[in-house]
Structure 1
Amino acid sequence: MLSSCGSSKEVVYFQDLKPGESEITLPEVQTITVQPEDKISIIVNSRDPQLTNLFNLPYISKQLGNTSQISSSNNQGVSGYTVDAEGNIDFPVLGKVHVAGLKREEIAEHIKNELVTKNLVKDPVVTVEFMNLCVSVMGEVNNPGRFSIDRDQMTILDALSMAGDLTIYGNRQKVLVLRQENGQQRVYGVNLTSGEHVYTSPAYYLQQNDVVYVEPNNVRARQSTVNGNNVRSTSFWISLASLLTSVAILIFN
């Protein structure tokens, strides 16, 4: 009984949602913007490959990334630009380009306009991709780790799905999202058992470097003790019952 996994109210997601009846106004979409220390790839193409090669970094043969969770297949062999502390990158021919706070398509549009305005390329096609942007998922999930951001909007549900969902011991009523904002560490709580709470949370859309932490529930807390023998553990009560039985036998005999 002490090891039971709890009632369905502690396990089932989105308990307040009913098919065909529930409507929730989603928060404003938060598209990921580039920040200092982010790494991005920028590729310029046109009808004149020799001309556009002047604006592309050389290809490299080594694989980017060193963890199995972070996929680099989209950027394999492509050199990238690391955004400096002032939010700039050093782009070939154009020089310093400010990209911090911009979305991918905004960066592409800005560089395209610069190339056309300065009469460097007549018909450029600029592609911008994320390279080292990721989120971390920790705690009671089946596959904790760091996961790459490969889209402009990434939700907490996306991150938990990539981590293999919560284990049966995860506290679905208290999932934490740790985020650095304006030099401060902020912590958001998300209750996965309430659809309205999930979809209206300011942490529904994740940002790069967010940490998602799933707390263990009471069952896991009872199982995980310092020495396996305190008052919250099942083994403690079994040992105590055995001791009392032995004492009783000795007394009555």
Structure 2
Amino acid sequence: MRFAKIAFLAVALTLTAGCTSYKQVPYLQNPEVVNNYGKEIPLYDAKIMPKDLLSITVNTTDALASAPFNLTVQTSINAAQENTNTTSSPSLQQYLVDNEGEIDFPVLGRLKVGGLTKTETENMIREKLTPYLKETPIVNVRMANYKISVLGEVASPGTFTVSNEKVNVLEALAMAGDMTVYGMRTNVKLIREDADGKREIKELDLTQSDLILSPYFYLRQNDILYVTPNKAKAKSSDIGSTTSLWFSATSILVSIASLLVNILR
């Protein structure tokens, strides 16, 4: 009877440990936190930051009138055959946002775009172009270097370009092939630098559904996600190094023993 109680207790503890570890695996647990959230969640819209590279086009029915606002640059192209001259092909001028959040736009001069969204920038340029054009132009602004990086315990770490200028934490992990079995879902570090150069490291718990309500759910350009390894990864690394050390020590001891046996004969 006593043995049965001990066995039952052992099984219960094993099951409890299994449940505890399982709770650290699934993403977005307790979805009712989000489903019952009473407030409206605003749509995310990326803001322009220093060192962003902008592609800006201005279009009207009169191509000649809008041409001064669509500068082009010559891009070198090497010919395939030898002993031929290098030709060039025009491409649209891109604008690098400086540390003050400004760009130098043709005719209009210096424009403050830092901190504005894409739509706000388009509206500002459209308004400033009114005196120069007979009709309301179509202005299109795109961020040409919207990139995020994912490192640590993921299947395919790397830097990824986001074409639609909108990506959340889960989508970023999907780009990197999701976490490995060694990834700590309760401690994913987000490294971010704001427009003033201030850096912060935010710890995210991907097992909690309220992550969706967090201001850190959507990534900004140049954000870095680092997936922390769990204890199992650390132990496996420890075992590997310890095993190598034991093999080396054993090999040395065998060599010394063989040497002593040969000397004492």
**Partner of 1:248 in structure 2?**
none
Determine which structure has the larger helix proportion and give its number.
2
Larger radius of gyration: 2
Q: Contact 1:44 / 1:127 at 8 angstroms: preserved in 2?
A: yes
Q: Contact 2:70 / 2:92 at 8 angstroms: preserved in 1?
A: no
Question: Take 1:60 and 1:138, find their aligned partners in 2: how far apart are those partners?
Answer: 36
Q: Are 1:80 and 2:59 matched, yes or no?
A: no
Question: Take 1:47 and 1:203, find their aligned partners in 2: how far apart are those partners?
Answer: 42
**Partner of 2:218 in structure 1?**
205
Q: Are 1:175 and 2:188 matched, yes or no?
A: yes
Matched residue pairs, number?
A: 214
Taking structure 1 as reference, are residues 162 and 62 closer, same or farther at Cα in structure 2, changes over 3 Å only? farther
- Percent identity over the alignment is 36
Deviations 1:65-92 (A, max 9, x none): xxxxxxxxxxx95431001122211111
How far is the alpha carbon of 1:224 from its aligned partner?
Answer: 2.4
Deviations 1:52-110 (A, max 9, x none): 121112165579xxxxxxxxxxxx95431001122211111111111111111111111
Taking structure 1 as reference, are residues 121 and 138 closer, same or farther at Cα in structure 2, changes over 3 Å only? farther
Q: Contact 1:169 / 1:219 at 8 angstroms: preserved in 2?
A: yes
**Partner of 1:57 in structure 2?**
71
Question: Take 1:123 and 1:229, find their aligned partners in 2: how far apart are those partners?
Answer: 69
Q: Which deviates the most, 128-137 or 29-38?
A: 29-38
Q: Which deviates the most, 94-103 or 149-158?
A: 149-158
Q: Are 1:193 and 2:207 matched, yes or no?
A: yes
User: Looking at both structures, which has the greater relative contact order when contacts are Cα pairs under 8 Å and sequence separation is at least 6?
Assistant: 1
Which sections of structure 1, spanning at least 5 residues, go unmatched?
64-75, 243-253
Question: Take 1:112 and 1:222, find their aligned partners in 2: how far apart are those partners?
Answer: 59
Question: Take 1:104 and 1:26, find their aligned partners in 2: how far apart are those partners?
Answer: 22
Q: Contact 2:146 / 2:165 at 8 angstroms: preserved in 1?
A: no
Q: Contact 1:62 / 1:77 at 8 angstroms: preserved in 2?
A: no
Q: Contact 1:41 / 1:128 at 8 angstroms: preserved in 2?
A: yes
**Partner of 2:107 in structure 1?**
93
TM-score of the superposition, structure 1-length normalised?
Answer: 0.74
Q: Report the RMSD for the aligned CA atoms in angstroms.
A: 3.0
**Partner of 1:37 in structure 2?**
51
Aligned residue for 2:23, secondary structure, equals helix
Q: Contact 1:29 / 1:205 at 8 angstroms: preserved in 2?
A: no
Q: Contact 1:139 / 1:215 at 8 angstroms: preserved in 2?
A: yes
**Partner of 2:27 in structure 1?**
13
Question: Take 1:145 and 1:57, find their aligned partners in 2: how far apart are those partners?
Answer: 33
How far is the alpha carbon of 1:184 from its aligned partner?
Answer: 2.7
**Partner of 2:240 in structure 1?**
228
How far is the alpha carbon of 1:12 from its aligned partner?
Answer: 1.4
**Partner of 1:150 in structure 2?**
163
Question: Take 1:35 and 1:22, find their aligned partners in 2: how far apart are those partners?
Answer: 33
Aligned counterparts, 1:19-30, within 5 A:
22-24=35-37, 28-30=42-44
